[in-house]
Amino acid sequence: MTQKRDFSQSVSLDIGIDKVCGLIARVKAIDVKEGVTDPDSGSNPIDDGNVDSLTTNPDDMTEEEIREVVAGLNDDERADLIALVYIGRGDMEPQEWADAVRLAREREAASSLSTADWLIGIPNLGDLLDEGLNLLGRSCDEA
């Protein structure tokens, strides 16, 4: 059995754990939503168990909040966020953190797609960020 090495002391994150965990919570709020299944239900939310709260709504600010959070990050924080995705989805190993950050910077410089749009387009982004933190020996329990 292989033991998981603790990288929490060897990896210095430029983004705060609390920012990552706040983003994870917002992303997971989007991940659980589905498309509108009954657009003209007209029923009272209390009567139908508030089921419509799990459907996508044009007035839902969560995606816009994610864009605002990402836009408010500095270059180093955005690079760390992208690198966490790379680590979390297994593209790179935790011991390759410096390379993951370098690739993240290259991705930002070369892409015409904003980092927020790129992140929002990743399925299960919250789980990937959470896994990236865990592989680095960190967790949202620290926040």
* pLDDT computed for residue 63 by the predictor: 87
Q: What is the pLDDT along the chain (143 residues), one digit of tens a residue?
A: 444 555 555 788 999 999 999 999 999 988 755 544 555 555 555 555 554 544 545 556 688 899 999 999 999 999 999 999 999 999 999 999 999 999 999 999 998 899 999 999 999 999 999 999 999 999 998 76
* pLDDT computed for residue 108 by the predictor: 93
63 DSSP β-pair partners: none
* pLDDT computed for residue 132 by the predictor: 97
State the pTM of this model: 0.76
Count how many Cα atoms sit within 13 Å of the Cα of residue 29 in the half-sphere of its side chain. 15
Count, residues in the chain: 143
* pLDDT computed for residue 7 by the predictor: 55
* pLDDT computed for residue 67 by the predictor: 93
79-118 core/surface letters (b: 16 or more CB in 10 A; e: else): bbbbbbbbbbbeebebeebeebbebbbebbeeeeeebbeb
* pLDDT computed for residue 40 by the predictor: 56
